[in-house]
Amino acid sequence: ADAEELGFAVATVLADPGVDSVLVVYTPPFGSGLEASQAAIAKATRDTGKTVLACVVGHDGLIDERVPSYAFPEQAVAALARVAEHAAWRARPREQVEVKPRVDRKSARVVVAGDLLRHPEGRWLDHPTAARLLGHYGVHVAETRTADSPEAAAEAAAAMGLPAVLKATGPGLVHKSDVGGVVVGLATPQEVEQAYRDMAERIGPAMTGALVQRMAEAGTEIIIGGVQHETFGPLVMVGMGGVTAEILRDQAFRIPPLDLRDAAEMIGELRGAPLLYGYRGRPKADIEALAQQIVRVGALLDDLPEVAELDLNPVIATPSGALAVDVRIRVAPAPPRPSSYRRWMRRAR
Ligand code: ADP
Ligand code: MG
């Protein structure tokens, strides 16, 4: 077909009320050649309100600054599939998230702004501050006390209830268990005291104190993460945690705002999801509670662009709830949100 025939065919198909979107495929240099054919596609699609994509074989780019054009048909079809999925998501009635406990945005902002005043460059929050921030969004974090001596750790454990977990803290300590900085299942205050001494000896001056928690109920370890992405803005990740997390990278991503259904879908996308649903007689996790945590993390990232990175690893999902036992949050001066993101959010809301 020459350019005129190509344009006529595109216009005819677009005029059909039974057609929602059109993918024009053209292989140069046949017909009238690359430029004339692109011009014909541009002209035929200029006034349509329908979705048009093109595959001009071998040429990636935009036709007429408007029609996305892919070098291979598979790319065009994959992009169209994403558009359709996204349109369906946008068209869905938004579920009102049950806010119980309520989100306290104002206090959360005060925590972030206060920390940035003291640390203008931003930093990884200390545990109490991170837990407070998450608390304002109703994210469940295991009760945690800080201790700076073996005796104080033993006392904290006795006060919170046993068995206890002891974790080393220090400015440079990131992956605590890698350096022997996490000991679980401590049954008595004496064991806690001894564990602290052993840990201090093992780690040396890098350890400046410790966190004490009560052992959480057994369950499935999940990661809830988030970043402010330079293109997308806030991005929420849910993944399977535990020792295989880094190897399997079983993860699902979404752009907030999220409702409970979005969160449940993210969980459902994980290959490890059956572990939560009661696979082989395992106890069924409280999916609703886990979904709530995901929605709340999404709201936090969406409201607070200063939260640059967030990593709850693990959140332990059990039949009675979902509890974060390790939380890391980095705050930094907020970058301007990408304009494409802001435009998109205005339409989404
Ligand atoms: P890090 O990730 O820095 O090594 P974590 O705090 O995540 O340290 O602890 C490592 C592992 O120890 C967790 O993945 C979890 O299996 C276990 N753990 C940590 N805290 C608790 C807790 N309160 N109850 C039960 N298990 C815990
Ligand atoms: Mg961890």
Kindly tell me if the per-residue pLDDT of 18 is higher than 50.
yes
Kindly tell me if the per-residue pLDDT of 343 is higher than 60.
no
99 confidence band (pLDDT: 50, 70, 90): low
Q: What's the whole-number mean pLDDT along residues 85-112?
A: 81
Is the beta carbon of 326 within 6 A of some atom in ligand 1? yes
Long-range contacts of 248-254 (CB under 8 A, 24+ apart): 248/272, 251/223, 254/298
pLDDT above 90 covers what percent of the chain? 81
Partners of 315 in the β-ladder? 222, 324
- Quote the pLDDT of residue 339: 56
Query: Per residue in 161-196, pLDDT tens?
Result: 999 999 999 988 988 999 999 999 999 999 999 999
Tokens representing 64 are 């007429």
- Quote the pLDDT of residue 211: 98
Q: Which residues are within 5 Å of ligand 2 (an ion), measured at CB?
A: 313, 326
Q: Residue 213 — φ and ψ, nearest 5°?
A: -130, 165
DSSP track, 273-321? THHHHTGGGPPPP-HHHHHHHHHHHHHHHHH-TTEEEEEEEEEEEETTE
- Quote the pLDDT of residue 93: 78
Ligand nearest to the CA of 225: 2
Which has the higher per-residue pLDDT, 97 or 66?
A: 66
pTM, entire model:
0.80
Mutate to test the pocket of ligand 1, among 221, 325, 327, 328 (most ligand atoms within 8 A of CB): 325
- Distance between CA 122 and CA 332 in Å, rounded? 4
Kindly tell me if the per-residue pLDDT of 294 is higher than 90.
yes
CA of 284 to the centre of ligand 2 (A): 23
- Dihedral, CA atoms, 129, 134, 135, 139, nearest 10 degrees? -150
DSSP structure class, residue 8: H
Kindly tell me if the per-residue pLDDT of 133 is higher than 70.
yes
Angle separating helix axes 3-15 and 34-45, nearest 10 degrees: 20
For 86, the 3-state DSSP assignment is helix
Mutate to test the pocket of ligand 1, among 140, 165, 203, 212 (most ligand atoms within 8 A of CB): 165
Is the beta carbon of 182 within 6 A of some atom in ligand 1? yes
Backbone conformation region of residue 200, classed left if phi is above 0, alpha if psi is from -120 to 50, else beta: alpha
- Distance between CA 18 and CA 218 in Å, rounded? 54
Is the beta carbon of 219 within 6 A of some atom in ligand 1? no
Q: What's the whole-number mean pLDDT along residues 214-237?
A: 92
Kindly tell me if the per-residue pLDDT of 349 is higher than 50.
no
How crowded is residue 228: how many other Cβ atoms within 10 Å of its Cβ? 23
Is the beta carbon of 292 within 6 A of some atom in ligand 1? no
Query: Per residue in 297-342, pLDDT tens?
Result: 999 999 999 999 999 999 999 999 999 999 999 999 987 665 555 5
Which atom number of ligand 1 is nearest to the Cα of residue 216? 24
- Quote the pLDDT of residue 245: 87
- Quote the pLDDT of residue 15: 96
pLDDT above 70 covers what percent of the chain? 94
Question: Alpha helices of 167-284 — where are they, by DSSP H?
Answer: 189-203, 245-248, 260-269, 274-277
Kindly tell me if the per-residue pLDDT of 292 is higher than 60.
yes
Query: Per residue in 135-155, pLDDT tens?
Result: 999 999 999 999 999 999 999
Kindly report which listed range (51-55, 89-93, 335-339) carries the lowest average pLDDT score: 335-339
How crowded is residue 135: how many other Cβ atoms within 10 Å of its Cβ? 16
Angle separating helix axes 105-118 and 127-136, nearest 10 degrees: 150
CA of 299 to the centre of ligand 1 (A): 25
